[in-house]
Amino acid sequence: MQNPERSIVILGTGGTIAGTAVEAGDTIGYRAAQLGVASLVRDVPGLAGQALETEQVAQLDSKDMDYGVWQALARRCAHHLARPEVGGLVITHGTDTLEETAYLLQRVLAPSKPVVLTAAMRPASALHPDGPQNLLDALRVANEPGARGVLAVLGGTVHPGAEVRKSHTYRLDAFCSGDAGPLAYVEAGQLRRLREWPQGEGLGLDLLEPEAADWPWVELVSSHAGADGRVVSALQALGVQGLVVLATGNGTVHERLEAALVRARAAGVKVWRSTRCAQGRVLAKPGDLLPDAGALTPFKARVEVLLQLLLEARRQHGA
Ligand code: SIN
């Protein structure tokens, strides 16, 4: 489904979808972020009649994603979303940190138009690359009447941006939406929707205005056999402002690590518990010593703590 009256803007940030290898058969020894977004679009058949614009916002392997790129991307999204002639956005991204970018954009922008992240598990030079189909499917979703919110489209599956996560290192079908399941499927160009589009209010782009170098420092620590509190003390001494612990099971933490985290929290560090388990949420119970991150994965919880600290800083500065 294409809408020639409303254009779709495709923002490129790099990733394997834009990657190339020396040998076509090489699907792991490639370099990510080699091709420009305009050339990725040229490789997708069936786009005649679709008004498209492309813009290269960044060109990186998403393992190296940083706050400056997030700022630039969020600004360009907000700019294009405000244009009445634009029906939606597609963002080409690396798979490795797509879930963090998707979460950030949903929480900050909560757009009333679709912002669809897509990526690929195989480089563009592969014998059978997945990028062109994923890009075509992402454009299909961006053109869907009524679609809204930050979404991720990979492997014929539509995930809510706030829930999507990478769940496999290599397979083409490498993403899931956790317990709640996918939002929709794209099947031969048809959208089969299972859940509502993401709703909610955005926190506002101005939240990301502080210089990237001044953003709060939030780290992940993990609870495991033999864990103790030394890593927490060391991070505190270095000035960490937020900590998310990858807790065991339903949010339990090794007693020595927990004691250090409780001390850090009393000293002003924002501390949340998430779970190491691949599926499920942390269910709060009486007597919990540390707040939990609910259904957020540790990596999304880390972004949420970052946003909460930015919000606190904004309030303190009276904005
Ligand atoms: C990246 O995340 O940029 C590289 C890996 C990938 O896109 O699959």
Mean per-residue pLDDT, 102-114: 98
Please give the distance, rounded to the nearest whole angstrom, from the Cα atom of residue 212 to the centre of ligand 1: 22
Predicted local distance difference test score (pLDDT) of residue 186: 98
Please give the distance, rounded to the nearest whole angstrom, from the Cα atom of residue 123 to the centre of ligand 1: 9
Nearest CA to ligand 1 atom 2: 94
Say if ligand 1 is within 6 A of residue 121 CB.
yes
For 60, phi and psi rounded to 5 degrees? -145, 160
| Token representation of residue 224 | 């495991």
Predicted local distance difference test score (pLDDT) of residue 49: 81
Is 56 buried (19+), middle (13-18) or exposed (0-12) by CB count in 10 A? middle
Please give the distance, rounded to the nearest whole angstrom, from the Cα atom of residue 246 to the centre of ligand 1: 23
Q: Which residue shows structure tokens 């779970």?
A: 275
Marked catalytic residue, from 16, 54, 118, 275: 16
Q: CA torsion, points 36, 125, 8, 171, in degrees to nearest 10? A: -130
DSSP 8-class letter at 36: -
Dihedral sign (CA 225, 272, 239, 255): negative
Let me know if 118 is a catalytic residue.
no
Q: For residue 169, how far is the Cα from the chain centroid?
A: 16
Mean per-residue pLDDT, 21-25: 94
- Give the separation between CA 258 and CA 157, rounded to whole angstroms: 38
pLDDT score of 3 more than 70 = no
pLDDT score of 72 more than 80 = yes
- Give the separation between CA 128 and CA 148, rounded to whole angstroms: 31
Please give the distance, rounded to the nearest whole angstrom, from the Cα atom of residue 296 to the centre of ligand 1: 22
- Give the separation between CA 294 and CA 128, rounded to whole angstroms: 39
Mean per-residue pLDDT, 157-167: 98
Choice from 40, 61, 66 to test ligand 1 binding pocket (greatest atom count within 8 A of CB) = 61
Q: Are 249 and 275 in contact (CB under 8 A)?
A: yes
Residue ranges of domains in the chain: 7-193, 216-318
- Give the separation between CA 303 and CA 218, rounded to whole angstroms: 8
Mean per-residue pLDDT, 157-180: 97
pTM here? 0.97
Model confidence band, residue 4 (pLDDT cutoffs 50, 70, 90): low
Predicted local distance difference test score (pLDDT) of residue 19: 98
CATH 2.40.360.20 fits 216-318, yes or no: no
Predicted local distance difference test score (pLDDT) of residue 239: 98
Q: Which residue shows structure tokens 């499920």?
A: 280
Mean per-residue pLDDT, 268-282: 97
Choice from 63, 65, 164 to test ligand 1 binding pocket (greatest atom count within 8 A of CB) = 63
pLDDT score of 272 more than 90 = yes
CATH for 7-193 is 3.40.50.1170
If we measure between CA atoms, which residue out of 136, 132, 98, 143 comes closest to residue 117?
Answer: 98
pLDDT score of 1 more than 70 = no
